[in-house]
Structure 1
Amino acid sequence: MTTLTIGVIYVAGILFSVVYTVYGLGGSATTVSVSYGATVSICGIVAGQPTQHIQCWRNGQLFDVYSDISFESIAGGRDLFCGIRSGGSSLVCWSPDLIPKRLYYNETVTLSKLAIGDSQICSITNRTGSNVDCWRDREGFSTQNGRFQSISSGLGFTCGIQANNTYGIICFGTNSELASSIQSEFINFRMLNVAVGGNHACGVNSTGFLICRGNNDYRQIEVPNHQPFEFSALALGLNHTCALRRLNNSVICWGGGGGIMSDYELDISFESIVAGLDFTCGLTTNNLSVICWGEGWVRNGSFPLGFELPLRSILPGPCVQSGCVHCGMYTQSDTLCSGSGSICKPCDLDSLSSPVSPLSPPLPPNASRSSPSRPLRRGLLAFAIVGSIGIFAGVCTVVYCWWTGVCCGNKKIHNSVQPTITNTTHNGSQFSNSSPVSRSSTIRRQASRAFRRQRSGTSSKHADREEEFTFADLALATNNFSHENKIGAGSFGVVYKGKLLDGREVAIKRGETSQKAKKFQEKESAFDSELAFLSRLHHKHLVRLVGYCEEREEKLLVYEYMKNGALYDHLHDKKNVDKNSSLLNSWKMRIKIALDAARGIEYLHNYAVPPIIHRDIKSSNILLDTNWVARVSDFGLSLMGPESESEHRPAKAAGTVGYIDPEYYGLNVVTAKSDVYGLGVVMLELLTGKRAIFKSNDDTNDGAPISLVDYAVPAIISGELTNALDKRVRPPEVNEAEAVELMAYTAMHCVKLEGRERPTMTDIVANLERALSLCDDSHGSISSDQISIISE
C-alpha cells in the first residue's frame, strides 16, 4: 500500500467519524415508544431477530406484538401506540387491550416519520410534495401540503419542518390557538429540527442553538447555557424538556417545576430518547437497553430512577433496504437487522445547516453574507488539519520503511523483551513513552516472566481426565437439584452445590431445560465451549473441570467446588457490609486476588494453544477456593483467539453490562484486550467496593445509574484516589498506599477506550506482582513512570 493511499484512508476515516451523531426526536417515531394514560407501556423494536417485531413492557410484564411482522418505527400516545410496517405500506395501532387496528394500507403511497401526540396520529407520505396525513381527531388535522421533512406532535397540535424551510415551523391541530402562537414564535428562525411537548416546542436553529417557545409554567423552555450544535436530539413531556448532547450522548433535562427533572443530568450514553407525559426513556448505547426516569416514572410504576427495563436489545434505528448514501450506516447493521436491511446513521444537524435565509435574524455588522457558512469553514479547517496529519503519517511511514529496511526486504531485529513503559505525571494528565524503566523492575519482570512460563504447564488436551457422570448420579448429589443447593448461575444454566458418592464436593452447572429452540442452541454452544476449553486447560488460577453429563436434552458440567464463592458476593453482597465480615477487607488480599485472576487470564492469552479469549471477565466469574486463591470460571462465551496480539477476529458482542469492552461492543471485533478491559473493571471494583454499574445513591440503591469506569478514572487522574477507596477497608499504610496506587494506575490503563492503548496481561501481572511485594516492604515511593504498560 502506498504512502499516499495510507494518508487518504486516514483522512477519510477521520472525516467519517466526525460526521456521525444521533438525530432522534421525542414526539416523533423512533424504535422506542412510550404510551401513557390508564397504563404506561414502553415498547421497542427488537434487534437481532429475523423479524424486527415489537416487544412491550407494561406493569412489570413483557409481551411481544406481531412476532412474525417487521416494523421500521413506532410511536406512542394516550392509551395507544402505533407502528409503521417495514416498507411503509401499513400503519397499525393498538389500544390498551392490545387489539390491533389497521389505519392505513397503500403499497404505492408509503408512510414515514410517524408522530403521535395525545390521541392524534400523523405521518409524512411519499406522495408528491411530502404531505402530512393525520388520523383520529382529524379536526384541524387535514392533509398538510408542503414537502415536510420532519414532524412532531404534542397535546392537540403537531409541528413540522418544511424541506424549503422558508418559515421556522408549521403548526396545526385541534388546539389551533396554541399551534398558531407557537408557530409565530419561531417565524424568525430557520429551524433544523423540532420536537413538541404538552404545550411547548423546541428545536435547533441554523446557527446550532436550541430554542424553546410556548408555555413556561414549569420553566420547561428555559434552555441551559450551551455551545452551538451541542444538542442533537430532544424529548419533550408535558412540562419538562430533555436534550441529548452531541459530544458524548449524555442527557440533560430541565423544567418539571422543581421536581426530579429540574436540572437533571444522566451521564450515560444514549442512542435516542423519547418522552411520556412526566418521564423520559432512553435507548442506551452500551447494550441497547431502555431505561427511564422522571416523577411520573417513580410515581406510576414504583420503579427507581434509571431502572433498566427487561426488554431485549432494541434497534438504534430502522432497518431499511435502501443504501445509506448520506451519512453511512452502523457497523453492526447486519447483525442488528439479522441480515434483512441496514441501519443508517443519522446525519449531523451541523450538516443540515446552510447559508442564512432572508428571514433569519440579521447578521452582525462585521459579518458578510457572501462568506462561507460555518459548517463549510469548519469542514475546510478539519480537512486541512487532518490532511496535514495524513501527509505527516505518510512521511513517517516512508522513514520507518527506510530505517527498518522492511520496504527493501532487510528487516532489522529489535529487542522486544522489555516492554514499553508509559509515563504519567502525578495527576495522570500526561502520558509518554520516554521514561527509562528501573533496572530492578526490569530484572523482576523478566525473572517472573520466565518463572511463569515454567509453572503454567501445557495446554494440550486432556479429555481422558474428565469423568462422565449419569444424570441420576448428579441428581442424587444435589438432592434432586433442590433450591437449597442452588449457589449461582453461569453462562448457560444454574449452578448447584453437590456431594458425590465418594465424598467429593463439587459445583454442578445444569443447562436450562425449559428454553425454546434458539435458547437451546445457545445452551448447547456454551456447554460445548466450556467442555472443549476446560478439558485442555489446567492452571491453578482457572476453575478445574471434574466431568460432564450428556443425557438426552440434559447437559451438565461438574467443577471443583469453590468454598468461598464469588468475588462479587464478597464485595457487594449485603451480608458482607460489615468491615470484619470478610478476609477480603485488606488491601494486600485484594491485590493478591487481582493478581491471581490476572495470572489465570495471562495463561489463556499467552500459554494456551491456540490462545483463548474469555469474553466475560467479571467479579462474579472470579471464584475463591478454600485457601482464598482466586480462579477464573465460566468459559461459556470463550473463543479461540488470534495467534498474536495485533490480530483480531470478528465476533458478535457478548458479555456483561459494565464489563464489556466498548471497542468490542462498537466494532464487533474481539481481541485479548477485551479481557484486559474486563479485568480493569474488576480491579476498580476491588479498589472502590462499588459495582460495575451502580446507583448514584448506593445506600438506598436508587438514583441514576453510574458506570464505575466513569466514577473511578477521574478520581485516579486527579490524584483523589483516597476519596474513592472502599471505606470498609482501613486506610492503607504508607507501603500499602503505594501498592494501591500502582494497582489503580494499572486499572486506569486497562479501561482505555482503545484496545491498543491498554497493557498486555503480562505487564498487568508484572505490575500486580510488584504491588503485592510493596505490601510487605516499603522500598521508597512509586511514581507512575514505573508502571509497566504496553500499548500497540
Structure 2
Amino acid sequence: MDASSSLVLVVLTLHSALTAAAAADLPAAQPRHRRLLLQQDTNLAALPLPAKVPAVPVDAHVPSHGTGSFPAASTSPQGGDGPSEAAPTTPAAYLSRSLRWLYMVVLPAVALLLLAGLACWLLCRKSAVATIGPWKTGLSGQLQKAFVTGVPKLQRSELERACEDFSNIVASYPHYTVYKGTLSTGVEIAVVSTMITSSKEWSEHSESCFRRKIDTLSRINHKNFVNLLGFCEEEEPFTRMLVLEYAPNGTLYESLHAEDFEHIAWRGRMRIIMGLAYCIQHMHELNPPVVHPDLQSSSILLSEDGAAKIADMSVWHEVISEGKTMTNGELDHHQEQVSAGLAGNVHSFGVLLLEIISGKLPFPYPGHERSLVSSALECITNDDLSIASLLDPTLGDHIHREDELAIIGEVIRACIQSDPRNRPSMREVAARLREAIGISPVAATPRLSPLWWAELEVLSTAEAS
C-alpha cells in the first residue's frame, strides 16, 4: 500500500461514516395530521360563510418548540391526557449529533487508518527496490541492491544470451576478456569477465578489490566515462563480470597510431581533449576523489561520433596482485602511481595532450630514442623551437589558430612539471583550455548515447529476476 492508496481509503471511509451519521440523524416524520392531508386525493371544498354571521377567528395550531429549558407542550384531539407527538428535530440538534458522531467515531477511525497506512507505506518503501531514472542522472541508472548500493546484479544466463554464448569476443588480455553483447532493444553493451575460472583462485582480497571497484565506478557517472551498468557474480560456474557501456570506435591509441584506422582531424582531437579534461576534473572533485590508475591513450575509447570515453579496467590486475612478488620495475611503477595521486593524473593528461596533437608515441621506440616529453621540454625551453614543430604532419597546414596552439603549449608545460606541487588542478586546466578551444561540456559528450536505453533494459531485467 502506498501513500496514494492510503489517502483514497481514508476519503472513502470518511464519506461512508458521514453518510451513516446523516442517515441515523434524519428528522422524525412530520405530524400525523399532515400525513392525513397528503393522503387526500383532492382539496376539501370550502364552505360558504353564512350571511351576517361574524367570522370567528380560528386558532392556528402551531406546535410549540419550547425555549429549551422545558419540554414543549403539545395538543391533541383527546386533550392534554393523550399521547403527545414527537417534536421535529431542529437544525441545531441535527448539527450537534453529527458533530458527536464526527468526534467520537469518524475522527478516531480516520486517525487509525492514517497510522496503519503510514506504517504499511514505510514498510513497503524499506523493502522495495529503489530506482534512479536515467533521465535524472543522465548516466548510469542503478538499483538499490544489498550487495553493492546502486548497481543491479544480473544473471549469467541473461548475459550469455546477450553475448551469443560468449562467442562475440572483442578483446582478450592475460587477466580479462571483453565480450560484445546486444540487448533485446538492439542496444550494445560490453561485458568484461575475469579469466579466473575457479573460486579457489579467487581470494578474499580479490573479492574485496572487485567490490571496491564496483562502488568506485558507480560513483563516477559522467558521459565521457565508460559507465557501469551492472555486474554478475555466481559460484557455479564461477563468474565475476562487469557490464559496461559499449564504445564502437576502438581506442584513442588505435586512432592515433594504427595505419588501418582513419586519422582524426584537428577539431575532433580538440573535442577529445576537452572531453577528457571535463571528465578527469569531475572524477577529482568527487568526495572522495577518484584517481584513474592508468591514464593513457589505450584506456580511452571513442564513441560512435568520436567523443572520448575513459575506461578503467585496472580491477582485473588488482584481483590477482595478492601473493605474487612484483619485479622492481613493477613495484616502482605501482608506488609512483599511488604517491602521485591527483597530480599524477594531471601529468598523464599533459602527456596525452602531446600524444594527441603530435600523433607520436609517448615513450621511446625504434627510430625515436627520446621520449615525447623530452622533446616537448626541449621545444618549450628553446626559443628557436616551438610546440608547432611537434604537430602531426597528417593534419596538414592551417588547421589551427596560433593563439589556440600557444595556450595548449602553456598547459602542457604546466602539467608535465617534475615537481607535482607546481602542477595545476584539473579545474584550472579545463578552464584554461576552454578559453582557447571554446568547446563546452555538452559539445564534448557523445551526441547520441544509447546508455539510457541500455539502463532501462538492465533495470527491468534486474527487477524481473
* TM-score normalised to structure 2 length: 0.54
Taking the TM superposition and a 5 Å limit, the aligned residue runs for 1:450-529 are: 463=144, 466-482=151-167, 485-488=168-171, 493-513=176-196, 524-529=207-212
Residues 546-573 of structure 1, C-alpha deviations (whole Å, 9 max, x = no match): 1111012311011111122221111122
1:557 to 239, 242, 265: 242
- Contact 1:547–1:557, Cα closer than 8 Å, also in 2: yes
Amino acid at match of 1:469: L
d(CA) in 1 for partners of 2:160, 2:313: 23
Taking the TM superposition and a 5 Å limit, the aligned residue runs for 1:151-300 are: none
d(CA) in 1 for partners of 2:139, 2:157: 34
d(CA) in 2 for partners of 1:545, 1:596: 18
Measured after TM superposition, the shift of residue 472 of structure 1 is 2.0
Structure-1 residue corresponding to 2:218: 535
- 1:498 aligned counterpart, secondary structure: strand
Amino acid at match of 2:221: H
d(CA) in 1 for partners of 2:419, 2:400: 33
d(CA) in 2 for partners of 1:682, 1:515: 38
Measured after TM superposition, the shift of residue 585 of structure 1 is 2.3
d(CA) in 1 for partners of 2:222, 2:174: 21
Residue 615 of structure 1 pairs with residue 293 of structure 2: yes
- 2:365 aligned counterpart, secondary structure: strand
Measured after TM superposition, the shift of residue 575 of structure 1 is 1.0
Taking the TM superposition and a 5 Å limit, the aligned residue runs for 1:715-726 are: 715-718=379-382, 719-726=385-392
Identity rate of aligned residues, in percent? 27
Measured after TM superposition, the shift of residue 456 of structure 1 is 9.5
d(CA) in 1 for partners of 2:343, 2:174: 21
d(CA) in 2 for partners of 1:500, 1:458: 18
d(CA) in 2 for partners of 1:532, 1:743: 35
Structure-1 residue corresponding to 2:51: none
Amino acid at match of 2:376: A
1:714 to 378, 382, 405: 378
Measured after TM superposition, the shift of residue 476 of structure 1 is 2.5
d(CA) in 2 for partners of 1:610, 1:770: 28
Residue 761 of structure 1 pairs with residue 426 of structure 2: yes
d(CA) in 2 for partners of 1:693, 1:555: 34
Taking the TM superposition and a 5 Å limit, the aligned residue runs for 1:740-755 are: 740-755=405-420
2:348 to 657, 670, 678: 678
Residue 728 of structure 1 pairs with residue 394 of structure 2: yes
Taking the TM superposition and a 5 Å limit, the aligned residue runs for 1:68-79 are: none
- Contact 1:690–1:708, Cα closer than 8 Å, also in 2: yes
- Contact 2:196–2:202, Cα closer than 8 Å, also in 1: no
d(CA) in 2 for partners of 1:708, 1:522: 37
d(CA) in 1 for partners of 2:174, 2:151: 20
Structure-2 residue corresponding to 1:346: none
2:305 to 627, 630, 646: 627
Structure-1 residue corresponding to 2:437: 772
- Contact 2:228–2:242, Cα closer than 8 Å, also in 1: yes
Residues 582-625 of structure 1, C-alpha deviations (whole Å, 9 max, x = no match): 4x222x2212211101111111111x222111121111222222
Structure-2 residue corresponding to 1:693: 363
* TM-score normalised to structure 1 length: 0.33
Segment drifting more, 550-559 vs 462-471: 462-471
Measured after TM superposition, the shift of residue 748 of structure 1 is 2.4
- Contact 2:358–2:390, Cα closer than 8 Å, also in 1: yes
d(CA) in 1 for partners of 2:434, 2:268: 12
Instruction: Tell me which protein shows more strand as a share of its residues.
Output: 1
Measured after TM superposition, the shift of residue 663 of structure 1 is 9.7
Structure-2 residue corresponding to 1:548: 231
Taking the TM superposition and a 5 Å limit, the aligned residue runs for 1:430-445 are: none
The change in CA–CA distance for 1:515 and 1:731 in structure 2 (over 3 A counts) is: farther
Structure-1 residue corresponding to 2:256: 571
- 2:284 aligned counterpart, secondary structure: helix
**Rg bigger for which structure?**
2
Measured after TM superposition, the shift of residue 461 of structure 1 is 8.6
- 1:558 aligned counterpart, secondary structure: strand
Measured after TM superposition, the shift of residue 687 of structure 1 is 1.5
- Contact 1:491–1:526, Cα closer than 8 Å, also in 2: no
Aligned length: 288
- Contact 1:597–1:630, Cα closer than 8 Å, also in 2: yes
The change in CA–CA distance for 1:456 and 1:615 in structure 2 (over 3 A counts) is: farther
Taking the TM superposition and a 5 Å limit, the aligned residue runs for 1:575-594 are: 575-576=260-261, 581-582=262-263, 584-586=264-266, 588-594=267-273
Measured after TM superposition, the shift of residue 683 of structure 1 is 1.0
- Contact 1:527–1:636, Cα closer than 8 Å, also in 2: no
The change in CA–CA distance for 1:746 and 1:516 in structure 2 (over 3 A counts) is: farther
d(CA) in 1 for partners of 2:158, 2:143: 23
Residues 746-792 of structure 1, C-alpha deviations (whole Å, 9 max, x = no match): 122212222101110001101221221299xxxxxxxxxxxxxxxxx
The change in CA–CA distance for 1:457 and 1:675 in structure 2 (over 3 A counts) is: farther
Instruction: Tell me which protein shows more helix as a share of its residues.
Output: 2
- Contact 1:738–1:774, Cα closer than 8 Å, also in 2: no
Measured after TM superposition, the shift of residue 693 of structure 1 is 1.7
Amino acid at match of 2:387: L
The change in CA–CA distance for 1:746 and 1:633 in structure 2 (over 3 A counts) is: same
- 1:535 aligned counterpart, secondary structure: helix
Residues 626-654 of structure 1, C-alpha deviations (whole Å, 9 max, x = no match): 2322122116369xxxxxxxxxxxxxxx9
